[in-house]
Amino acid sequence: MWRRWREASVDERVRWLRWALPVIIAALVLLYQLGFTSFIHDAVGDAAHTMVEVAFYSVVGPVVTWVTLGFIGKWLREKEVIEQKARAQEHHLASIIAASADAILSVDRKNMILTWNRAAERILGYRAEEMIGRSLARLFVTDMTRVSQPQWLADPTRPLHQFETTVVTKTGRTLPVELTRTPLRDQTGRERGASVILRDISPRKARQALLNEERARIARDLHDGLAQSLYFLGLKLDLIRKLIKTDAEEAERELRELKRTVQAGIAEVRRTIFALRPLELDELGLEEAMRRYIRGFGEQTGLEIGFEVAGSPANAPDSLAPMLFRVVQEGLNNVAKHAQAQRAQVTLAVDEQTCRLEIWDDGVGFDPDRVWSERATKVGLRQMRERVEAVGGALSIESKPGLGARVLVEVPIEESEA
């Protein structure tokens, strides 16, 4: 009984006292009238009896009221302290949610959105007033008239942990996200909805795409370079073995050619190994990372490579740095493998509106129209163009046979930031 009383809310205690106090006071008055009135009257007389009754009735009511209000005041203070702690915790939790880099929202049992934090506005483009009261399905289908929805979306109380899916932003862009959904329950344990956390994983997907591209490039280089060279070496060795017995002079000439092939293979392997070195864009910045790479690449290949900077590369958006660096890598690699050049030049120019990158060489040159039509271009120059166009830029090539080549990249900074 006492435990139930302590666990009861203030409203429940006051409701109980509202019924109990009249009964207690009536019981005290009845006890006094039946048990003590006759005794006091006989013992002290009428006058003293009247004074005792006045004292009794003037004390019992105020004392009971004072004690009762004291208990109520104590309960209210305890309730206020608990509510203040709860408000402080709620404020702290709300601050964490508001400052979170992930989109955090809550939904009811019908998948209707109840809350929407600032990160959700930034990542998805919708303001809170645009989404609260709307269906969560709005984020996962491009046409709300379609009946079909993702199967996992049908049950809002089903837990999901780091589930990869895609959302559609306000601008119509498809964004890869990692979704975590946790059911929310009330005090009775009944599920009343769920919290949903959406984490933008597009940078991670971009890094994975870069790694996949690098794996494909390395596999291509090994297949087209080292593997072919080793096969050629095998044929040459067979030929030399036969020539040693019949024509020593021809065998010596073939050995010299074989040595050149081995040296070219060693240079190819060194280029591949150099390309595998970890990038330090975040630590060094775009300009210094390019400078170190170009210097190292020149030492590995024997190319004389210049590097010029105009404007302020530090003003280039961080999102452009990997693309620019990869274009320089691929461009110089093409120069070393195909251009037969002695010198090359890389120029990076950044102003408030545009980022420009130029790669020039004095090699044998080529016909750009013919090269773009070749199948091999899909994994070479075409890959460079796709990278540039993915951030709203343009890539062009100027070249003629015997007159070297110039690769030009131009990216509007405002578009790349958007």
Question: Is the model's pLDDT at 199 over the cut of 80?
Answer: yes
Q: Can you state the percent helix, strand and coil of the chain, rounding each to 5?
A: 60, 20, 20
Please tell me the predicted confidence (pLDDT) of residue 20. Answer: 73
Identity of the residue numbered 83: E
Please tell me the predicted confidence (pLDDT) of residue 270. Answer: 67
Domain map (residue ranges) of the chain? 2-98, 100-200, 204-276, 284-418
SS3 85: helix
Please tell me the predicted confidence (pLDDT) of residue 306. Answer: 94
DSSP state of 278: P
Whole-prediction pTM = 0.48
Confidence of residue 376 (pLDDT cuts 50, 70, 90): very low
Please tell me the predicted confidence (pLDDT) of residue 212. Answer: 74
Contacts of 149 (CB under 8 A, 6+ apart): 137, 140, 141
The CATH code that applies to domain 204-276 is 1.20.5.1930
State the distance between the two ends of the chain, measured CA to CA, in whole angstroms.
Answer: 65
What's the CATH number of domain 284-418, 3.30.565.10, 3.40.640.10, 3.40.50.720, 1.10.3720.10? 3.30.565.10
Please tell me the predicted confidence (pLDDT) of residue 355. Answer: 92
Identify the top-confidence range among 30-34, 407-411, 413-417.
407-411
CA atoms within 13 A on the CB side of 257: 15
Identity of the residue numbered 4: R
Which of residues 311 and 91 earns the better pLDDT score?
A: 311
Q: What percent of the chain has pLDDT over 90?
A: 11
What's the CATH number of domain 100-200, 2.10.260.10, 1.10.3720.10, 3.40.50.720, 3.30.450.20? 3.30.450.20
